[in-house]
């Protein structure tokens, strides 16, 4: 009987979010054991621990279970991406503050149900972004206005106003907007413009503010969704930007643009700090970004159940 048990490497970030995993850690481990898994449990203490744990032990396990926020998941993926063999699937138990990635994937919101999904879910390929030679991202690389909206909007405002709280906070950011001159090169196209925001994503929603139509976004089609918000020239432009965001209208040529590509070169007149899956990068002025497809699998709920 013991020989048939699947080996699971469980990497737990005990400080993620509100530390909810601490009170449920035994229950999580017990559930895995009760469902045919032999777990090895490691807890992170510093940035990069999860990457090192996964990278050094990947070949020994049938599944990697990541309990933490989107940043912890990013570290797990980074530890797997250069593996030459077939990677085991990732089971994600979201315990972070924003959990943008988990929301986009349609994962359960409670720890108990998320663990159940790890056991019963079906592994699906998920495209990963390669950000130059610096980092990988599972759902977003961005800079400019709105980048910190999901982190800076007060929880009290989120509870009362919901989605509109993010829009209001985004409006406050627009009051202090910085303009960037950017050149984007992809496929046979070059875009050069003044913008206040750029995001390269593989997700259906992010920052509590942007939500793409589900029928237009696939997480495993080998393509990014690239969104740029142009520099507003007057108060009317600012109002139109916020209105378009509220209505999920991303193709108003005067204020913003949305397109799809597998590779993108970004060149700026000045060095900027990017946010990559919630973590900040060093300042850079140019970067090549490309999709890594058919490498990483994440356990997702069976929609037929």
Architecture of domain 2-120: 3-Layer(aba) Sandwich (3.40)
Based on its alpha-carbon atoms, the radius of gyration of the chain, rounded to whole angstroms, reads 20
The answer to whether the beta carbons of residues 143 and 287 sit under 8 Å apart is no
The answer to whether the beta carbons of residues 88 and 65 sit under 8 Å apart is no
**pLDDT at residue 149, as a whole number:** 60
Query: For residue 172, which of 206, 145, 143, 208 has the smallest C-alpha distance?
Result: 145
Q: Where in the chain is the domain with CATH 3.40.50.10330?
A: 2-120
Q: Where in the chain is the domain with CATH 2.60.200.40?
A: 137-291
Name 111's bridge partners.
Answer: none
Q: What is the pLDDT of residues 60-81, one digit of tens each?
A: 999 999 999 888 999 999 999 9
Average the pLDDT over 85-111 and give the result. 87
CATH 2.60.200.40 is held by the domain 137-291: yes
Task: State whether the Cα torsion 288-293-299-302 is positive or negative.
Answer: positive
The pTM of the full predicted model, rounded to 2 decimals, is 0.85
Average the pLDDT over 257-275 and give the result. 95
Task: State whether the Cα torsion 63-112-92-221 is positive or negative.
Answer: positive
Q: What is the pLDDT of residues 203-215, one digit of tens each?
A: 888 766 788 877 7
**pLDDT at residue 102, as a whole number:** 85
The answer to whether the beta carbons of residues 195 and 143 sit under 8 Å apart is no
Q: What is the pLDDT of residues 215-265, one digit of tens each?
A: 778 999 999 999 999 998 888 888 888 888 888 888 888 899 999 999 999
Specify the DSSP element, H or E, that contains 49.
helix 49-57
How high is the mean pLDDT of the chain?
A: 87
- How many angstroms separate the CA atoms of 114 and 105, rounded? 12
Q: What is the pLDDT of residues 179-200, one digit of tens each?
A: 999 999 999 999 999 998 999 9
């Amino acid at each position: 009987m013991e020989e048939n048990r699947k080996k699971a490497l469980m990497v737990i970030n005990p400080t993620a979010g509100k530390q909810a995993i601490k009170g449920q850690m035994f229950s999580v481990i017990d559930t895995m054991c009760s469902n045919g898994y032999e777990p090895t449990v490691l807890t992170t203490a510093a940035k990069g621990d999860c990457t090192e744990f996964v990278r050094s032990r990947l070949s020994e396990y049938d599944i990697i279970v990541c309990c933490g926020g989107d940043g912890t998941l990013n570290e797990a993926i980074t530890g797997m991406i250069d593996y030459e063999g077939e990677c085991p699937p990732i089971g994600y138990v979201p315990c972070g503050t924003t959990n943008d990635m988990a929301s986009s994937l349609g994962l359960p919101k409670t720890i108990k149900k998320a663990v159940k999904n790890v056991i019963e879910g079906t592994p699906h390929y998920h495209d990963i972004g390669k950000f130059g030679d610096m980092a990988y991202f599972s759902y977003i690389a961005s800079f400019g206005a709105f980048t910190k909206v999901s982190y800076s909007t007060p929880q009290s405002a989120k509870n009362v106003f919901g989605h509109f709280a993010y829009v209001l906070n985004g409006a406050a950011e627009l009051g202090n907007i910085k303009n960037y001159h950017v050149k984007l090169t992809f496929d046979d196209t070059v875009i050069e413009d003044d913008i206040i925001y750029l995001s390269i994503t593989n997700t259906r929603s992010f920052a509590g503010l942007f939500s793409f139509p589900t029928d237009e976004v696939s997480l495993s089609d080998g393509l990014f969704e690239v969104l740029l918000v142009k520099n507003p020239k007057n108060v009317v432009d600012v109002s139109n930007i916020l209105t378009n965001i509220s209505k999920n209208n991303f193709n108003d040529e005067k204020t913003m643009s949305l397109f799809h590509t597998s590779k993108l070169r970004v060149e700026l007149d000045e060095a900027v700090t990017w946010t990559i899956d919630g973590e900040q990068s060093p300042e850079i002025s140019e970067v090549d970004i490309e999709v890594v497809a058919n490498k990483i699998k994440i356990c997702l709920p069976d929609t037929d159940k």
